[in-house]
């Protein structure tokens, strides 16, 4: 009973440790999840602030672009007005009052560079050229004229007698500077979109939502793959509504974005922490169990060798008494000699614990029959032993006979105890090309399915007095020393249990 209590206590301690580890892991997961959610919220706030800033700047760029267009239209009107004034000056019907007004109008053009040519392209007059000191330099004037031709279409001026003049012009200095500012503003806007504060993946497209204008924080290979790009844009649109911007002549443009990779990684961070903790607990427990088993093995090896040493002296004395009794022709000498040999075998077994056993090709049937014969005369007559070997089965396998007989003895003893000394114990040997199967079946009370594996654990026992080491020792001898297997093949309550031993040939 003590062994069963110890095993139950050990299981309770294991359960308690597992629950404690689960509690610590749960608290850690809960707290780390809170931290992650806070960081995610901060990330989302940054994304929203970035999106709002982009929208405001888009409106600013649009307003600046509209203002720029209005200034350009106004300058065109000024040039047209200047051309009309020039035409009136050449008219023979102009009055003195009109002349004063026209002269004032022409003279007030101090910003727009203009060049007036005749029908043959000869320069008639110039005004407001960038370098006023070179207005008389023919080469310079012609260079400016070529630039004006490329920039704007000339304004035709019809003067008297059907003659036609052409007025060429270019943007004013103020307008050019504003254009540079607008370009810088547009470029900085695109730069802010790509290199955003929140470092979120972002794509800027035209009105078709397919042509990429700019992108940031996205693998360039993914952008080059049309199918992948389409999926990315669809995913972004599903996560956040795109920001619609208008920058003037470019028309509508769309900014698609989604949460940053950091935010996605933070979402899985608690599970990573939990996984690391689980691995740490697993390896710690494995290391602890290995060390504990190693210590237990050293204790049992030492105890076994000391037991063998202690048995040596009385065993020698018993052998001497057997010889004395045989010399006196006393009948019990032969049976006593069998018990003494059994004690000698047990002593040999204990002395070999901890050492690698020597395996030799031996017949399993000999070991099984010898063990059955030994138990028959020392067990209740109500226990019936049956031994069967399948026809044409080779029962010779590599084994260590003293250790293997120990396994069989333990199984026989447990079977007899399970039947309470009344029942049938059957040993059946069958074989396959590579293995030999030994089935030991009793008609006892059976083993619950939940204990099929547990019965081999050290400390497990259902007896009132027992250490729970017999089947654990059997498992070690069969699997560690012989490279075989031992397991519960089947069991039914109050009908019996079958243990199977499998040995390699």
Tens-place pLDDT, residues 400-420: 888 898 899 889 988 998 898
User: What is the CATH code of the structural domain delimited by 359-504?
Assistant: 3.30.565.10
HEC string of 126-147 equals: EECCCCHHHCCCHHHHHHHHHH
Residue 102 pLDDT > 50:
no
Distance from C-alpha of 149 to C-alpha of 402, rounded to nearest angstrom: 114
Q: What are phi and psi of 137, to 5 degrees?
A: -85, 115
Instruction: Return the biggest CA–CA distance within the chain.
Output: 173
pLDDT of residue 90: 55
Q: What is the pLDDT of residues 16-37, one digit of tens each?
A: 877 887 787 778 778 777 877 7
Do 54 and 192 form a contact (C-beta atoms < 8 A)?
Answer: yes
Check pLDDT > 60 for residue 89: no
- Please say whether the beta carbons of 407 and 349 come within 8 A: no
From residue 414, alpha-carbon distances to 28, 64, 117, 304, 496 in Å are: 48, 97, 125, 21, 12
What DSSP letter does each residue of 277-312 carry, written as one string?
Answer: HHHHHHHHHHHHHHHHHHHHHHHHHHHHHHHHHHHH
When pLDDT is averaged across residues 145-171 and rounded to a whole number, the result is: 76
User: Is the pLDDT at 501 greater than 50, yes or no?
Assistant: yes
% of the chain surpassing 70 pLDDT: 67
More confident residue, 146 or 24: 146
Distance in angstroms (rounded) separating the CA atoms of residues 155 and 427: 120
Residue 119 CB partners (closer than 8 Å, separation 6+): 163, 164, 165, 166
Provide the mean pLDDT of the chain: 76
Domain ranges of the chain: 25-174, 194-261, 359-504
Query: Mean pLDDT over residues 354-383, rounded?
Result: 86
pTM above the 0.85 mark? no
What would the mean pLDDT of 53-68 be, rounded to a whole number? Answer: 71
Model pLDDT for residues 440-470, shown as the tens digit of each residue: 999 999 988 888 888 887 766 666 555 567 7
What integer is the mean pLDDT of 280-305? 70
Is pLDDT larger for residue 163 or for residue 125? 125
CB of 82 closer than 8 Å to CB of 107: no
Report for 29-38, 123-132, 378-387: range of highest mean pLDDT: 378-387
What is the CA angle 394-365-438, rounded to 5? 80
């Amino acid at each position: 009973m003590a062994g069963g209590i110890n095993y139950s206590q050990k299981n309770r301690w294991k359960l308690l440790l597992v629950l404690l580890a689960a509690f610590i892991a749960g608290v850690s997961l809960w707290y780390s999840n809170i931290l992650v959610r806070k960081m995610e919220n901060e990330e989302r706030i940054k994304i929203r602030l970035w999106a709002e800033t982009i929208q405001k700047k888009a409106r600013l760029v649009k307003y600046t672009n509209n203002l720029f267009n209005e200034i350009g239209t106004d300058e065109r009107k000024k040039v047209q007005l200047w051309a009309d004034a020039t035409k009136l000056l050449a008219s023979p019907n102009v009055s003195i009052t009109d002349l004063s007004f026209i002269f004032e109008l022409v003279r007030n053009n101090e910003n727009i560079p203009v060049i007036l040519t005749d029908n043959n392209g000869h320069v008639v007059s110039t005004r407001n050229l960038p370098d006023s000191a070179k207005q008389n330099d023919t080469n310079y004037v012609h260079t400016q004229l070529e630039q004006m031709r490329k920039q704007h279409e000339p304004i035709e001026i019809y003067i008297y007698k059907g003659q036609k003049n052409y007025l060429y012009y270019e943007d004013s200095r103020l307008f050019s500077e504003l254009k540079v500012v607008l370009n810088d503003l547009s470029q900085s806007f695109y730069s802010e979109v790509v290199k955003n504060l929140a470092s979120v993946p972002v794509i800027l497209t035209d009105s078709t939502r397919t042509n990429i204008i700019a992108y940031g924080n996205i693998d360039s290979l993914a952008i080059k793959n049309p199918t992948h790009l389409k999926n990315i844009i669809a995913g972004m649109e599903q996560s956040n509504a795109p920001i619609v911007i208008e920058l003037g002549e470019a028309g509508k443009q769309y900014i698609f974005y989604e949460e940053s990779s950091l935010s996605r990684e933070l979402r899985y961070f608690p599970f990573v922490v939990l996984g690391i903790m689980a691995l740490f607990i697993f390896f710690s427990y494995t290391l602890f169990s290995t060390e504990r088993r190693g210590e237990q093995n050293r204790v049992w090896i030492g105890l076994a060798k000391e037991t063998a040493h202690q048995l040596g002296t009385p065993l020698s004395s018993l052998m001497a008494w057997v010889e004395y009794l045989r010399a006196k022709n006393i009948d019990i000498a032969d049976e006593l000699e069998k018990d003494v040999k059994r004690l000698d075998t047990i002593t040999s077994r204990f002395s070999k614990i901890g050492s690698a056993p020597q395996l030799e090709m031996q017949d399993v049937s000999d070991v099984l029959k010898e063990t059955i014969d030994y138990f028959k005369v020392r067990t209740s007559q109500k226990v019936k032993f049956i031994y069967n070997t399948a026809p044409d089965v080779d029962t010779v396998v590599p084994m260590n006979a003293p250790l293997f007989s120990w396994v069989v003895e333990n199984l026989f003893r447990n079977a007899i105890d399970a039947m309470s000394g009344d029942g049938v114990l059957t040993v059946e040997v069958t074989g396959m090309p590579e293995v030999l199967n030994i089935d030991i079946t009793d008609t006892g009370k059976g083993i619950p399915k939940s204990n099929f594996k547990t019965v081999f654990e050290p400390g497990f026992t259902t007896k009132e007095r027992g250490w729970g080491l017999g089947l654990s020792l059997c498992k070690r001898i069969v699997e560690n020393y012989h490279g075989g297997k031992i397991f519960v093949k089947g069991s039914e309550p109050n009908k019996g249990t079958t243990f199977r031993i499998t040995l390699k040939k």
